[in-house]
Structure 1
Amino acid sequence: MTTEGPPIRRLADWDAATLRDLADGHGTPLYVLDQRRVRENVANLRAAFHEESISYAVKANTVRATLETIAETGIGAECASAGELQRAVDAGFDRLRYTAVNPPAGDLDHVVDLAADPPRDLDLVITVGAADAFEALAERGYDGPLAIRVNPGVGAGHHAKVTTGDAPKFGVPYDRVSELASEIVSRGFDLVGLHAHAGSGIHEASDLAAHRELVSRMGELARELDHDLDFLNVGGGLGIPYRPTDEPLDLDSVAAATREAVGELDARLGIEPGRYVVADAGVLLTTVNTVKPTPETTVVGVDAGMTTLLRPAMYDAYHEIRTLAPDADERESVTATVAGPICETADVLGRGRELPGPERGDVLTIGNAGAYGYEMASNYNSRPRPAVVSLDGGESRLAVERETLSELTRLEIEQ
């Protein structure tokens, strides 16, 4: 881990000829994930948070090639489901945190079995966000280390749908943590940590201020507990600049502010970034199917939609869009709406975008698609999920095959 790349990789930094070749060779829609950039992002995080324990929030991207890249850097994995935990184990992670929300019985069965009979020596901690979750683990005979997820009453994030720190769904209420901690310890369990998470996409000044408040409250809580802890995990959610005019986070300043906010602490401070590790390491390639001038806008119909990249429809998220046409500089610009093939008004990847006059067959690239892109892809409208290509240096390989129409019904039982 000696290479530290720039604080953000902009869409213009991707080589257009390479992306065109990948689209020609693998078809579209196509996700492209650059493993070298993933390593650079981990290096940037380590340079800033060198004293803290870092775990990758697996939900941001679970493509095997990327998980293996991150595991090789030596950081840990934070998992929100049994499936994510199994993927992380298979990819080679040895330090794992299982931090599920309202975990189903089947998930707990799998995780407890894994803890009892691991494939190798694993540092696995299960985090409970409710007293019931603790009781469910006890009923299954789990006797490994535990942490408590806390609801500190402070949330932040790029959208209300991903603000978690003040949502009742997440964590044990702040003023009830001490009681649960005492119960866990009195029954002979090893309580090793506390966990909290403000939300996702923390980037603006107001978000950072809320995050510092969360860290401060968690530091106070850790000091108040009548119990020694190994770690205090204050979550991830570090955002990136999705718009080309936005500035990247100053990680050194964020790290310093986090240390200052938590105060004196015997436990090791931990963070769990996901988006920051993978977002700018991925792009989505899509082909123009139709170009339709209308009185309001030019509608550019593409073969990727909300089933390929959900974030614009789900969160009104902005992703930069660029044409890869070799003669783009020679075309007259138009104001366009880039829309997908899904039968929903929400199926729009970008509105009011200035693009070189689009033509049928052009390939467009959509930036910062490495986080929550392929991960949230679906089969709505019976659309097959896209393929994924992994880049590493000058080499490329197919990481995930394109789903076929016949595979859409492979789990269905004929009557």
Structure 2
Amino acid sequence: MTDVTASPPVRRLTDWDLPRLESLAAEYETPLYVMDRDRVKENYVRFSSAFPDADVMYAAKAHTGTAVLEAVLEVDGTIECAAWGELQRSIDAGADPNELQYTAVNPPDRDLDYAAELGAENPGLTITIGAVDTLERLADRGYDGRIAIRINPGIGTGHHEKVATGADAKFGIPYERVPEVADRVREEFDLVGIHAHAGSGVLTDDLEDHCEAIERVGEMARRVGDDDLEFVDVGGGYGVPYREDEPPLDLEKTSDMVRDAVGELEAQLKLEPGRYIVADAGLILTEVNTIKEAPDTTVVGVDASLSTLIRPAMFGSYHPMLNVSAPDREPIEATVGGPVCTSADVFAHDRPIAELERGDVLAIGNAGSYGYELANQFHSQPRPAEIALEDGEARVVRRRETLEDVTRLEK
């Protein structure tokens, strides 16, 4: 296992090798995603060490890149998937299908066809259902295997209302209906677990609300008979500090509070961290191309855009930034935006950053989670390349798209 004794609980932009980052930008061009596989492993081991008796599954939707999935598997991690494509990518990366968990959310027929067939060939696969309809559709496909029930605890937590899934009717069986659904599952399938996910981006100050939802999960598990369950899955959502002055998640406190909240269980505890594992393992390098003095700010134009990283436009998310080329220059207040023709294509307003000049390389931090996953081709912009770092070596794990890639599916 990876030794994390010397690994900081959060990696700031200033902890990266800045001259190396500038050389990567020169060699591989920008915008460029950089993922540190060593950091992915450190984060997984640190988190799982805080829950030594639990099954810690990496939530693949945070970053499904093969290099990341392989890194998790290399430190004996398991993987939770939310779509059929994630199941297939995990298997391609070397995961045993019998150890995968598929959390179906309003799954299309294609997804259920794939999952049912995979489960028939690999009876250890677990399918988590959040609607009775999904049970009926699985039965129609001849599936009678392992089922976990996703609970809607009625309590949502996290950094934004769009990720507070625990209070969203889209996710999970309504709380008071769970016992009757559990009875039905036991008649037709193999009920192995109870599952819930309250939200995303949870830091230490959010733990009280987060654990209130977990407490309800533990109560329901005991109500339906946890001595007859294999596991109780309290989901993920554990965050990293995006702002420079925010402290990292206190894992010791988190572990104590989660265990106290879920209570005494015969079943094994499961958790599904995603963001915590990959967020600070990744960043974006982008080149400055335009400096414009405006009446109230200095506008800095870069070649990354909301098609590269959509989180600021989608969630109003804060991402740290650093002038990699000249971090010691006097700071100015800059508004940093990309080439997309919308006012939403802005990474920061009036952010103090060491003065930038055309040709400088700017790093955008904490981009490893839901960064490349949400990258798109808006404005017909090809998606960027992705570089993986490990033991000081760099390799291309995703080549830069070309315009031909953008248009190749058109007729």
Q: Same fold (TM over 0.5)?
A: yes
SS class of match (1:232): strand
Partners of 1:28 and 1:304 lie apart in 2 by: 8
Supply the AA of the counterpart residue of 1:402. Answer: R
Alignment correspondent of 1:10: 12
How do 1:198-237 and structure 2 match up within 5 A? 198-203=198-203, 205=205, 207-226=206-225, 228-237=228-237
Aligned to 2:178: 177
Q: Which residue of 2 aligns with 1:164?
A: 165
CA distance in 1, matches of 2:211, 2:16: 34
Correspondence for 1:132: 133
> Is the CA contact 2:204–2:254 (under 8 Å) kept in the aligned structure 1?
no
> Counterpart of 1:97 in structure 2: which amino acid?
Q
Alignment gaps of 5+ in structure 1: none
Q: 1:343 aligns with which of 326, 329, 341?
A: 341
Q: Deviations over 1:213-265 (max 9, x none)?
A: 11111111111114610000000000111011100011011011111111111
Q: Which whole-Å CA distance do the structure 1 matches of 2:347 and 2:73 have between them?
A: 32
Report deviation, 1:92. 1.5
Q: Secondary structure at the match of 1:123?
A: coil
Match of 2:39 in 1: 37
Deviates more, 1:375-384 or 1:226-235: 226-235
What one-letter code is carried by the residue in structure 2 that aligns with 1:192?
A: V
Mind listing any 5+ residue stretches in structure 2 that lack a counterpart?
none
Q: Which of 89, 92, 115 matches 2:119? A: 115
Where 2:35 maps in the other structure, the secondary structure is strand
Q: TM-score, normalised on structure 2?
A: 0.97
- Please, what is the CA RMSD of the aligned residues? 1.1
Displacement of 1:199: 0.6
Letter in 2 for 1:79: C
Give the partner amino acid of 1:370: G
Deviations 1:154-176 (A, max 9, x none): 11000001110010000000000
1:78 corresponding residue in structure 2: 80
- Which residue is 2:108 aligned to? 104
3-state secondary structure, aligned to 2:389: strand
Letter in 2 for 1:160: E
Q: How far apart, CA to CA, are the structure 2 residues paired with 1:204 and 1:53?
A: 21
State the identity %. 54
How far the C-alpha of 1:30 sits from its partner, in A, is 0.3
Retained in 1: the 8 A contact 2:63–2:370?
yes
- Report deviation, 1:43: 1.3
**What is the CA-CA distance between 1:110 and the residue it aligns to?**
1.0
Whole-angstrom CA distance in 2 between matches of 1:144 and 1:92: 23
The Cα offsets for residues 120-155 of structure 1, whole Å up to 9 and x where unpaired, read as: xx7310011000000000000012111100101111
Give the number of aligned pairs: 406
Q: Cα deviations across residues 354-398 of structure 1 (Å, max 9, x unaligned)?
A: 122211111100111100111100011111101000000111100
Q: Distance in 1 between matches of 2:354 and 2:166?
A: 42
Deviates more, 1:39-48 or 1:150-159: 39-48
CA pair 267-288 structure 1, distance change in 2 beyond 3 A: same
| Distance of 1:384 and 1:123 partners within structure 2 | 39
Q: Is the Cα–Cα contact under 8 Å of residues 54 and 271 in structure 2 kept in the other structure? A: yes
Q: Is the 8 A contact 2:158 2:200 kept in 1?
A: yes
**TM-score normalised by L of structure 1:** 0.96
CA contact (8 A) 2:2 2:41 kept: no
- Kept in 1, the 8 Å contact 2:195–2:235? The answer is yes
Residue matched to 1:295: 295
Moved over 4 A (4+): none
Q: Is the Cα–Cα contact under 8 Å of residues 124 and 146 in structure 2 kept in the other structure?
A: no
| 1:290-318 CA-partner distances (Å, limit 9, x unpaired) | 00000011000000011100111111110
